[in-house]
Structure 1
Amino acid sequence: MRQPDRHSNQPLYQQIADDIERRISYGEFPPGSLLPSERKLAEQLGVNRSTVILAYAELRALGIVESRTGSGTRVSKYKWGATPKHTPNWHRYVEGGSFLPNLPFLRRVREALQQDNTLIDFASGELGADISPVKEINTLMDENHYTAYLGYADPQGFGPLREALVTYLSQYRGIQTTESSILITSGSQQSLYLITQCLLAPGDAVAIEDPSYCYSLPIFQSAGLRLFRLPVDAKGIRPEDVRSLYKKHRIKMVFVNPNYQNPTGIALDAGRRIELLDVASELGLPIVEDDPFSLTAYNGMPPQPLKSMDPIGSVLYIGSFSKIAASGLRVGWMVAPHSVVDRLADARQQMDFGLSVVPQQVAAQFLKSPYVQPHLERLRMHLLYKRDLLISALRQELPDLVSFSIPQGGLHLWCKIIPEVSDNKLFEEAIRHGVIFVPGSVYGSDSGYVRFTFARPKTDEIVPGIAKFAAALRAVLAQSN
């Protein structure tokens, strides 16, 4: 038998089951033949007997083997007649696809929130119901009669929404564009997916911030891209690092989140913005600017986007309603050269024939309504209040155990745990105490960082949530002493 790989993400029992199933299919163990006993196989492979028991149970569930008390475990001979027939080994298919699953921590976040709706949620990167424009959107839906014909939408996006975005981007972001240069997407994440799949090739090198939300997206690895880091300091990335990576690795594209970066909350320094555009122009290097948070600027003066300073078209600009209005609409957009929009719209048509027209109509009506500016002002006020509650609670509960820089916009607070601590132990202990967050290692950082999202929890949950986190942290530190 082949020794299981203890460094693999696949459980040991599943590796053993797959190996036995493969040997059976090759004829090494013919129908009716006796397999090694659980104890003998466990000794042979150097694993616990319970691991072999799980492997045999998996094979029994597939109908591949049969076990009888006193007779051991044999390859099935009769269950499907004289010629053995097997259910497809779906585990092998699931593990073998090229599109990678979410990171284990993120899958655990989803699982924990589904299992316990009382958890105080500092993990989900979206607005809570208390600060979303729910009333305004419901009013618009009541007042407007949307199309009666629900056929396939334009794969580039609903025309009136793209027209409304031309005005919105000019007014709020200083970006001058036309509807033919806008692609509507199912949130900003689909924009990133289309870029990685359609504009880059396996083996291409790209630069992303460190830490970065991009590290939490397996779409980059699924596309076969090589990722190189741009360290983020108090002023954001250093443009000279882009030039260095280009010389060393011939990077093909740079991905940045310059305004209240996820997860650090840093805004890229104004001088560095100009320098970054100069470097990109010099090297002919595209920049993908993901800008979901800029309109949350607490002082009402959002930083200038790179796209508004880009005279030669180096920047692909990505935006979304998710972080400023309603994530459930799943409406995002990309501003790009028309040739790029055509290419990505064609890919979109192959995927889903275009985003549903109904949420696009709702988004278009919202953008053209008088509700936008008042909503943004309330949103900033509420986010600032929640941020200050979070900071006050951390200073009260953990004055000597955490450090952080105070963001001036966005939804997140990036914290460093001062004592050395295991991400996994702290994460699981926090769940046991009734609170959940995202460990910093998800975003490429070393162990010991935490991202708190303060937009999702209700105002009266923030202080109790940090108290629960503090209790969990102290419990983990006590265990390690």
Structure 2
Amino acid sequence: MWKPDRSSSKSLYQQIADDLERRISYGEFPPGSLLPSERKLAEQLGVNRSTVILAYAELRALGIIESHTGSGTRVSKYKWGVTPTHTPNWHRYVEGGSFLPNLPFLRRIREVLQQDKSMIDFASGELASDLSPVEEINILMGENHYTEYLGYDNPQGFVPLREELVSYLSQYRDIRTTESSILITSGSQQSLFLITQCLLTPGDAVAIEDPSYCYSLPMFQSAGLRLFRLPVDDKGVRPEDIRSLYKKHRIKMIFINPNFQNPTGAVLDADRRIELLDVASELGLPIVEDDPFSLTAYDGSPPQPLKSIDPIGSVLYIGSFSKIAASGLRIGWMVAPHSVVERLADARQQMDFGLSVVPQRVAAQFLKSHYFQPHLGRLRTHLLYKRDLLIEALQHELPDLVSFTIPQGGLHLWCKIIPEVNDNKLLEESIRRGVIFVPGSVYGSDSGYVRFTFARARADEIRSGISKFAAALRGVLC
């Protein structure tokens, strides 16, 4: 985001006025569109509200904007004396469409993190740079010398990457498959999107965990799906609940994250895994297994995936590099029957003609390199260290105010705040103090739950971040 230059001889308010006038002239703010409030713009630009008031006054004097009590400040519809009779009503278009925006809490979190780089980040569900194989990937990228034509690749994915994934899935996840049954995607989220758009229809009922990452994805509502809850306890979901949901709602698909579940960190019990597959096969229901965290198991023994014990092909298996290597590579995969892979690859080709071959080539090289296994070992060690720092800080700062179950893998700690608390007030007070997290209600829980992600914050920030959170919590409880 543009910020005024405090070393410039031009006043701050004049710089702000000039920038807004430029953006209005470029059509970023069309005639009649609402501008940010004085308070919000001042926060975004890091200036006093009085400075924004002066900038708006300058633009009003030029006839570029208009302010009316109760309706805010808008770009003038009669700017420069011209009546824009054919200007589209962009607000109506933005509010329309079938694809819903992100949840308000998530939009607020994204906005804060973009504006304030000093914020201690317990919200972002990705690895920090010190946990990613940055040096190794730089070396591999330096070894790439392209001689062939860099055109559109196979919509199912780069063949050498799919071949490497066959070996990877066999070695690390005990999944036997072939390259023709693998679809490369731009991460787990695109896999979920393709499934909801291509294999289900509006009005279909699906079962998702409660709480669940899926609640935070408006793509499910955008697809017109009806969501029904499978409560998660310390052993994961209860398979008998699926039979009950099927009888009541005729669910058509089950979405599950059985290993270090997001957000709770729970691992589906071994007996429940077998029972879940039995129930699904009895009812003829497909299971979508999202498995991004397994290889982060701190003891080096990842839980067994459902797919590895699926005898009849009920499971669509989703994996990703985002939580074990680098989210910026944008590499995920799905293991599915070939007919499903062909259907989804056709749909994905209509969207983007297939992924870039460059990151796919790097991912393939990384998987087969001698760097991969040592990286996993370092990742587990560092995640365990950060998890312990977070737990120690919570026990020191809030011994009687939060409860949690200690996860044995993954990136998240799921906390219950013991006193009743308002999610919005707690989040805003935490932001004011310089720390941010994801409220549990984003995942379908009641108010009073918090997901702390410990993979993004630096180790030396964790103690101070929890101290700031503790002060915020006590502040809103007073």
Q: Same fold (TM over 0.5)?
A: yes
State the one-letter code of the partner of 1:221.
Q
State the one-letter code of the partner of 1:155.
P
| In 2, Cα distance between equivalents of 1:112 and 1:149 | 42
| In 1, Cα distance between equivalents of 2:92 and 2:145 | 49
Q: Which residue of structure 2 aligns with residue 418 of structure 1?
A: 418
CA shift for structure 1 position 56: 7.5
| In 1, Cα distance between equivalents of 2:355 and 2:184 | 8
Q: Which residue of structure 1 aligns with residue 135 of structure 2?
A: 135
| In 1, Cα distance between equivalents of 2:225 and 2:336 | 21
Please identify runs of 4+ aligned residues in structure 1 that moved more than 6 A.
Answer: none
Q: Which residue of structure 1 aligns with residue 342 of structure 2?
A: 342
3-state secondary structure, aligned to 2:452 = strand
State the one-letter code of the partner of 1:425.
K
Q: Which residue of structure 2 aligns with residue 125 of structure 1?
A: 125
Equivalent residue runs for 1:370-409 within 5 Å: 370-409=370-409
| In 2, Cα distance between equivalents of 1:394 and 1:91 | 44
Q: Is the 8 A contact 2:239 2:276 kept in 1?
A: yes
State the one-letter code of the partner of 1:406.
I
Q: Which residue of structure 2 aligns with residue 3 of structure 1?
A: none
| In 2, Cα distance between equivalents of 1:113 and 1:53 | 31
- 1:61 matched to 2:76: yes
| In 1, Cα distance between equivalents of 2:228 and 2:98 | 21
Q: Percent identity?
A: 81
State the one-letter code of the partner of 2:330.
R
CA shift for structure 1 position 150: 1.6
| In 1, Cα distance between equivalents of 2:115 and 2:90 | 25
State the one-letter code of the partner of 1:470.
A
- 1:89 matched to 2:89: yes
Question: 1:440-460 CA deviation, whole Å, 9 max, x = no partner?
Answer: 000000001000000111111
Q: Which residue of structure 1 aligns with residue 290 of structure 2?
A: 290
Equivalent residue runs for 1:16-415 within 5 Å: 53-55=69-71, 57-58=73-74, 61-63=76-78, 79-80=82-83, 85-146=85-146, 148-415=148-415
CA shift for structure 1 position 57: 4.6
CA shift for structure 1 position 126: 0.5
| In 2, Cα distance between equivalents of 1:137 and 1:179 | 24
CA shift for structure 1 position 149: 2.1
Question: 1:258-283 CA deviation, whole Å, 9 max, x = no partner?
Answer: 00000000000000000000000000
| In 2, Cα distance between equivalents of 1:174 and 1:57 | 60
Q: Is the 8 A contact 1:120 1:435 kept in 2?
A: yes
Q: Which residue of structure 2 aligns with residue 460 of structure 1?
A: 460
3-state secondary structure, aligned to 1:455 = coil
3-state secondary structure, aligned to 1:375 = helix
Uncovered stretches (5+) of structure 1, i.e. residues with no partner: 1-16, 19-49, 67-75
CA shift for structure 1 position 54: 5.0
Q: Is the 8 A contact 1:153 1:357 kept in 2?
A: yes
| In 1, Cα distance between equivalents of 2:67 and 2:201 | 40
State the one-letter code of the partner of 2:210.
D
CA shift for structure 1 position 51: 10
| In 2, Cα distance between equivalents of 1:170 and 1:308 | 9
3-state secondary structure, aligned to 1:232 = strand
Q: Is the 8 A contact 1:405 1:414 kept in 2?
A: yes
CA shift for structure 1 position 147: 5.1
| In 2, Cα distance between equivalents of 1:247 and 1:415 | 33
Q: Is the 8 A contact 1:122 1:437 kept in 2?
A: yes
Question: 1:154-201 CA deviation, whole Å, 9 max, x = no partner?
Answer: 110000000000000000000000000000000000000000000000
Q: Is the 8 A contact 2:67 2:73 kept in 1?
A: no
Q: Is the 8 A contact 1:146 1:361 kept in 2?
A: no
| In 1, Cα distance between equivalents of 2:247 and 2:298 | 39
CA shift for structure 1 position 144: 3.1
3-state secondary structure, aligned to 2:410 = coil
CA shift for structure 1 position 287: 0.2
Larger Rg, first or second structure (1 or 2): 1
Q: Is the 8 A contact 1:146 1:358 kept in 2?
A: no
3-state secondary structure, aligned to 1:370 = coil
Q: Is the 8 A contact 2:210 2:443 kept in 1?
A: yes
State the one-letter code of the partner of 2:312.
I
State the one-letter code of the partner of 2:76.
A
State the one-letter code of the partner of 1:61.
S
State the one-letter code of the partner of 2:384.
L
| In 2, Cα distance between equivalents of 1:423 and 1:283 | 39
| In 2, Cα distance between equivalents of 1:149 and 1:378 | 37
RMSD after superposition: 1.7
Uncovered stretches (5+) of structure 2, i.e. residues with no partner: 1-31, 34-65
3-state secondary structure, aligned to 1:451 = strand
Q: Is the 8 A contact 1:260 1:266 kept in 2?
A: yes
CA shift for structure 1 position 62: 3.9
CA shift for structure 1 position 414: 0.2
State the one-letter code of the partner of 2:348.
R
